[in-house]
Amino acid sequence: MSTEQNTSAVTTEQATTAIRKARAALTRYRVMALITGVMLLVLCVEMFFKYVVPVDAVIDYMGWVPFAHGWIYVVYLVTVLDLWAKMRWGYGRLATMVFAGVVPVMSFILEKRVHADADAKLGALAERYGA
């Protein structure tokens, strides 16, 4: 077996591993984007009842929502950074993905776009390397 064939086999193996890891990061991102989006909508409902229609019973019942959303957003940021690093996207994409966790409904819209872009890129790489 020549050195050239051995190098190509390692490259294919590395590409397959990288594609697998990127797909796993994409799945984690998708899950966290949906959870973060739902929690942000729940937070908006909580804020509505707290400041627009002051209902003490609802405020006492939903007092945990801001804290839960905050910690979920931190986990979301970790998944965003992981996917961004694996996909080697630009800083504009990173900023957009970060802001999607704090703008209501944006995480749902952006998740679809990010998934389509990442899936197309990973599909092309898999086709190229036969992974």
What three-state secondary structure class fits 7?
Answer: helix
What is the distance between the alpha carbons of residues 118 and 23, in angstroms, rounded to a whole number? Answer: 8
Q: Looking at residue 1, what is its pLDDT?
A: 45
CB-based contact 27:101 (threshold 8 Å): no
Q: What is the pTM of this model?
A: 0.86
Q: Looking at residue 20, what is its pLDDT?
A: 96
CB-based contact 118:1 (threshold 8 Å): no
* pLDDT, tens digit only, all 131 positions of the chain: 444 455 555 488 888 999 999 999 999 999 999 999 999 999 998 888 888 887 776 667 778 889 999 999 999 999 999 999 999 999 999 999 999 999 999 999 999 999 999 999 999 999 988 86
